[in-house]
Amino acid sequence: MRYIIQLFLIILICISAYSQNGKLISGPLQGHITATTAKLSLIVSKTKTVTVSLLNKGVITKNIVLNTDTLKAIGKLFPIVVEFDNLIPGTTYEIALQLDKKSIDKKFKLQTLKQLPVADFSFLTGSCALQLPAVLKPFTRMGSDRIFKYMLTVPADFMIWLGDYTYYIKRKIGRDDFASAAGMWNRQIKTRKKKHINKFLIEFPQYAIWDDHDYGAYDGDENFVLKDTSLFMYKNLWANPSYGLPEVKGIFTSFRKYDAEFFLLDDRFYRTEPNIKNCTMLGQKQLNWLFESLKKSEATFKFIVLGTQFLNPYAQDECYNQFPGEKKEIYDFLEKNSIRGVVFITGDAHYSDLQKEERKNTYPLYDFTCSPLSTFLNPPNPMEKTNTARVLGTLTCHRNFGRISVTGSLGKRVCSIELYDDSARLLWKHNIPEEELK
């Protein structure tokens, strides 16, 4: 009888643990991490109280308790963003969750930055992660989340999503996902529930911009009627450092990792129709913010992250050439103000390459386009194939992801750009010494 009771108790404990894990829909996703702060996001269901704790060597050092009665539910789910401060630099913390005072059995790790002027680091990047029903997985790699399993085998400190993290579906029958807040939210949750995506998201910090497919309608711009809804969801799904400015809406933000600074741009919220008088991709207020931020930056490498290709002079699909006035304004600003160390990181093209544009009397500009993670391939048109600015051997028409490393001693830093296929096999590598960008 004693053994039956013990077995019954074990079953009860397992059922309880499974029930709690079932309440955790997604996360905890790590967002912006510094030497002393950490931002996290998670999504829970059917939960009254949520406790997020940070443990250092097994001892709880930080604790945040939330009652979901004070939170806004979206589709019966509660998206939660929390931020910790006064953390210890260069420390590995354990993240512990309690839902309704019962512990989630899985533990998660969080690493704060070292408090140093320079340190070696690396990050993954990519765009265009279309997901299709699992029934199609045996027949095609398109629309599969398998690539994220292999991405975890490549060492990195964080991830930057270059847009189209998910795809709002346009339907021939029924309402398009982007036609309603409910449709958009349901698509986001379906993506977050993907096994390999969710596992990837909780492994290390995630930063994200959007492009048209996770912003709203195909080729969406400032006229998308649910753009404020999209912005609200974005703020609740990710844990970026900030979102726009108090007086300027949007997802643009910046952050620093040691001697590198990242400028994440919003290419949709203020985008007008292309090729019209005074057309804009970023909007003047965002552009002013970028210019002022670049002037103040003392970073060795200044990564400008954008959902649309910047340099490509031959693209027939969406690209910065459709906004010639604004593109020239950026060129002129960089040259006039002697802004050093700029590297563009872009997505959307459904192929990858590295372009290098020589400029008179100053250093060359690089544009690393990384796409797609899992959607269909779109080989460059005949004109694009003749692009002499493309670094030889970098044109890649496979599903892929990128890894960028910043290494070396102060004054001799090197930015290394690598591209991997969807099985994590290295395809090519290109080094950019900081001296080249002065």
Question: Architecture of domain 24-111 in CATH?
Answer: Sandwich (2.60)
Q: Which amino acid is at 433?
A: P
What are 154's two structure tokens?
């490549």
The one-character DSSP state at 381 is P
CA–CA gap between residue 347 and residue 345 (Å, rounded):
7
For β-strands 92-99 and 108-111, DSSP reports them as antiparallel
Longest distance between any two alpha carbons in the chain, whole Å: 87
pLDDT value, residue 309: 97
DSSP β-bridge partners for residue 404: 123, 417
Q: Which amino acid is at 214?
A: D
Q: What is the pTM of this model?
A: 0.94
HSE (CB half, 13 Å, CA atoms) of 315? 24
Residues 6+ away with beta carbon under 8 Å from 64? 51, 52, 53, 82, 84
402-419 in b/e form (b: 16+ CB < 10 A) is: bbbbbebeeeebbbbbbb
Question: Architecture of domain 121-437 in CATH?
Answer: 4-Layer Sandwich (3.60)
Total residues found in the chain within this entry: 438
pLDDT value, residue 21: 60
Query: What residue ranges in 127-252 does DSSP mark as E strands?
Result: 158-162, 206-209
Q: Angle, to 10 degrees, between the axis of helix 324-336 and the axis of helix 284-296?
A: 20
pLDDT value, residue 95: 97
pLDDT value, residue 90: 97
CA–CA gap between residue 62 and residue 56 (Å, rounded):
9
Question: Consecutive sets of 10 residues in the chain, 438 residues long: mean pLDDT of each?
Answer: 38 37 91 98 96 96 95 92 98 97 92 97 98 76 91 98 96 90 96 95 97 96 98 97 98 98 98 95 98 98 98 88 96 97 97 96 97 94 88 96 98 98 98 98
Phi, psi of 74 (to 5 degrees): -120, 115
Q: Angle, to 10 degrees, between the axis of helix 227-237 and the axis of helix 181-192?
A: 30
CA–CA gap between residue 391 and residue 368 (Å, rounded):
10
CA–CA gap between residue 95 and residue 33 (Å, rounded):
14
Q: Are 404 and 125 in contact (CB under 8 A)?
A: yes
pLDDT value, residue 171: 87
Q: Are 272 and 221 in contact (CB under 8 A)?
A: yes
CA–CA gap between residue 243 and residue 253 (Å, rounded):
6
Question: Domain ranges in the chain?
Answer: 24-111, 121-437
